Structure 1
Amino acid sequence: MKIKNQSSLPSKYWLLIIAVVCILLMGIEHFTGHAGPVTFVANYTVIPMEKGISYAGTWMSDVSKNFQTMKDMTKENKKLQKKVDELTTDNTRLRQEQYELDRLKQLYKLDENYSDYKKIGAHVIADNGTNWFSDFIIDKGSKDGIKKNCNVLAGSGLVGIVTEVGPHYARVRALIDDASNVSAMMLSTSDTCIVRGDLKLASDGRLRFEKLANNDNKIEVGEQVVTSHVSDRYLQGLFIGYVSEVKVDSNNLTRSGYITPAVDYSKIQEVLVITKTKQEMISSRSKKK
């Protein structure tokens, strides 16, 4: 005996399902403008997926391009930074060379102003650790003809005197040092005075002079002060500075005041050392007589 398939549907139900599907397809075709059911399904499934994939692809392409652009920009920036560093280094070197040239020109001019004296150039290699070059060491010594009491020039005139000498170095005491005193004179009148060092005054850019005779010779601001002929250690006529202030002392016999020095004692780098002392020159003149 045949066993009837309990899961199969009667033919009338299959016919009904097919009719309903046909009606649905016709409805879809009507509402989609006769584009067809496949097109309808594609419009709501495949096409959005394609758009999403296309957008994702475009985004990935843009990211890749931007990443490459950033790499190129970073590489170019490194090149530019290297160039900037090189130009900065070159500019710094050129400025240093210009400063050095200016200083050497000043020394050359100073050398010409005192052409009667034999001199040797030297670099400052150490100071006393303050902001002022009141006591410093240079890189030339007895092997170069430098002796104790040799006069030292810098800037526009006298900077100090050698107090100690080694084979390859010398120590210089500047005019601004507290232990310094120089016999000087007013250039226009030859009236003598004493110029004394004072580190407190040096911070104001001044030297003090005193014991200038209170006579009929008028001394005005701007008067040039040089070393005098009566100094036992300093050669005559070395420029010290300009009078910036003068007044009569309480004894009414002498005058005193201040001098603007010819040297900037805050930045001395090179000097000229006159290799003959005053005593040697006096002895040489005596022998000639």
Structure 2
Amino acid sequence: MIRNNKNSNNFFTKKLLLILVGIVVLFGLFQGIVNYGVDLISYIVFPVQKKVYQMGNYVKDTSDAVAKYKEILKENELLKEENIKYERAVTRNIQLVQENLRLRNILGMKEEKQLDVIVAKVNFKNHNNLYERFYIDLGKNDNIKKNMIVLSDDNKLIGRIGRVYSDYSVVDMITGENSNVSGLSDSNMLGVVKGSNEDDGTLYFEPNTFQNTLHVGEKIYTSGISDIYPKGIYIGEIAQIDDVQGDVFRSIKVKNDVDVLNLNEVLILIPKDKKEEKKK
């Protein structure tokens, strides 16, 4: 009887061991399957996850770049505004200096030449003949008379009043083809400064003597012989001397310094006798 119990106990123990071993084996198999499944899922999901991660980084970097770009644009706009303000201030200062210089020149001209000065605006220039004539905004209503002298704002001779209308006038320039002005060089050589039909406003000086004493760089002024132009108004300087036939015939080019393209204002000289007539 006791022997039968021992056998039953051994059988039960073996059965229990087999069950435990089975459970362990099944657990191992299940874990392997689970690991395999996880690996399979990871293999499938990882590329997608990687793309999502990369896309997230791209969106973040792009957002940061856009924000930075907007910040740079804003800074550039502020810098542009400051630069514009600075340029305006510089331009205004230059204009004030030029205006001050122009007014001082006008006062100097009044004292030196004993002439009154009127400032006129250039209101029309024909670009097909820039060196022939132009129009100003003063006329008979402003007591402008024919043959009044016209200068640039730095006291260089431009020409004279050719025709006068009610509220505007025509200025005939010394660079015009038919212009003749009596001139005197630094070396006191008398001659005639003639205009030309050349597109650059070249003047030619024809001395009254055959003496070859002129040189490049010598300045030419009005001689005062003319009934129109008083003595000492600057005309230009000798730019080139070409011998055509020895010393007898020479081509003497005079450079006119007036910037016709940017000519916006001119000075009109009124002699004292004209002023007296105006007062009467």
Q: 1:109/1:223 Cα in 2 relative to 1: closer, same or farther (>3 Å)?
A: farther
1:12 paired residue number:
none
CA distance in 1 between counterparts of 2:174 and 2:203 reads: 8
2:235 paired residue number:
240
Q: Give the TM-score normalised by the residue count of structure 2.
A: 0.70
Match of 1:260 among 255, 266, 273: 255
1:208 paired residue number:
204
- Could you tell me how far 1:213 is from its partner in structure 2? 2.5
**RMSD of aligned Cα (Å):** 4.0
CA distance in 2 between counterparts of 1:198 and 1:231 reads: 20
Which amino acid is 1:227 matched to? T
1:152 paired residue number:
150
Match of 2:267 among 263, 266, 272: 272
1:226 paired residue number:
221
Does 153-162 or 82-91 show the bigger shift? Answer: 82-91
Matched, 1:110 2:108: no
SS of alignment partner, residue 114 of structure 1? helix
CA distance in 1 between counterparts of 2:245 and 2:52 reads: 99
8 Å contact from structure 2 (residues 155, 233) kept in 1:
no
8 Å contact from structure 2 (residues 221, 235) kept in 1:
yes
1:120 paired residue number:
118
CA distance in 1 between counterparts of 2:35 and 2:242 reads: 113
1:26 paired residue number:
25
2:7 paired residue number:
none
CA distance in 1 between counterparts of 2:45 and 2:191 reads: 104
Does 175-184 or 78-87 show the bigger shift? Answer: 78-87
1:11 paired residue number:
none
2:171 paired residue number:
172
CA distance in 1 between counterparts of 2:268 and 2:49 reads: 85
CA distance in 2 between counterparts of 1:39 and 1:156 reads: 103
- Give the length in aligned residue pairs: 254
Which amino acid is 1:82 matched to? E
Matched, 1:58 2:53: yes
Q: 1:256/1:65 Cα in 2 relative to 1: closer, same or farther (>3 Å)?
A: closer
Q: 1:74/1:254 Cα in 2 relative to 1: closer, same or farther (>3 Å)?
A: closer
- Could you tell me how far 1:248 is from its partner in structure 2? 8.1
8 Å contact from structure 1 (residues 184, 231) kept in 2:
no
SS of alignment partner, residue 68 of structure 1? helix
- CA offsets 1:105-152 (integer angstroms, 9 cap, x no match): 553453244223211223322211148343212233334443221111
Does 70-79 or 223-232 show the bigger shift? Answer: 70-79
Q: Give the TM-score normalised by the residue count of structure 1.
A: 0.68
Q: Which runs of 5+ in 2 are unaligned?
A: 1-17
Does 129-138 or 235-244 show the bigger shift? Answer: 129-138
Q: 1:199/1:141 Cα in 2 relative to 1: closer, same or farther (>3 Å)?
A: same
2:15 paired residue number:
none
Q: Which runs of 5+ in 1 are unaligned?
A: 1-18, 285-289
2:8 paired residue number:
none
Task: Report which of the two has the higher share of helix.
Answer: 2
SS of alignment partner, residue 75 of structure 1? helix
CA distance in 2 between counterparts of 1:144 and 1:79 reads: 53
SS of alignment partner, residue 36 of structure 1? helix
- CA offsets 1:177-204 (integer angstroms, 9 cap, x no match): 1122112223542x4321111131x52x
SS of alignment partner, residue 176 of structure 1? coil
8 Å contact from structure 1 (residues 227, 236) kept in 2:
yes
1:7 paired residue number:
none
Which amino acid is 1:125 matched to? N
Percent identity over paired residues: 23
- Map 1:72-91 onto structure 2 (within 5 A): 72-83=67-78, 85-86=80-81, 89-90=84-85
8 Å contact from structure 1 (residues 28, 40) kept in 2:
no
- CA offsets 1:206-238 (integer angstroms, 9 cap, x no match): 3101142236x9444333322122212222221
1:6 paired residue number:
none
1:9 paired residue number:
none
- Could you tell me how far 1:258 is from its partner in structure 2? 2.4
